[in-house]
Amino acid sequence: MPVAEPVRVTVPRGTLGVLGDGVRVGDGADWDWFRTDVRPVPAADEERVVTVADDGAVRTLLAAASPRHSAVPGDDEIRRWVGVQADDGTLLACAAHTEAVPGVPHLASIATHPSARGQGLGALVTGALTRRLLDEGFPAGTLGMYADNDVARRMYLRLGYRCDHEWSSRAIVLH
């Protein structure tokens, strides 16, 4: 009997159990979808947030800080990267503005280098990019986060984001 190929699915969290005995649920993760139409309060040091054009620096940061990142430099959906750099030019934090659907901004691959965590840099890039999107006339900003990232959750809530949907994404095999 041929083995069925896995299919990736995303379903509302809590519904994987209703798939039945004929489905084998494989690897994946739980994640949450956040949205805001609230302009975050500007940070005193927001001038540190700059547009980042160095794809290599973004790749290096994401490899060190966020192995589960979703946006990669060069993706067609990316409109821009923003970040905070150290005095020597090393990228310490970043966030991508993506648009899978034109005109619908989504923040992705928000990351802070492990050596720079606890300094508010994730909030700095997220807040600045969110504010820029709203100032540019977008009605809202969205982002997704892995459900087990409590530090990020607290930051996004503090910046005015609200969790609209809770999801489970998994590989499934019908047998």
Q: What is the DSSP string of 44-69?
A: TTGGGEEE---HHHHHHHHHHH-TT-
Q: What is the pLDDT of residues 93-126, one digit of tens each?
A: 999 999 998 899 999 999 999 999 999 999 999 9
Q: What is the pLDDT of residues 33-91, one digit of tens each?
A: 999 999 999 999 999 999 999 999 999 999 999 988 999 999 999 999 999 999 999 99
Domain regions of the chain by residue span: 7-174
Selected from 1.10.8.50, 3.40.630.30, 3.90.1300.10, 3.40.50.300, the CATH number assigned to the domain covering 7-174 reads: 3.40.630.30
CB count within 10 Å of CB 175 equals: 10
Q: What is the pLDDT of residues 12-32, one digit of tens each?
A: 999 988 887 888 888 899 999
How far apart are alpha carbons 75 and 55 in whole angstroms? 11
SS3 130: helix
Give the model's pLDDT for residue 4.
74
How far apart are alpha carbons 50 and 83 in whole angstroms? 6
pTM: 0.90
Q: What is the pLDDT of residues 118-166, one digit of tens each?
A: 999 999 999 999 999 999 999 999 999 999 999 999 999 999 999 999 9
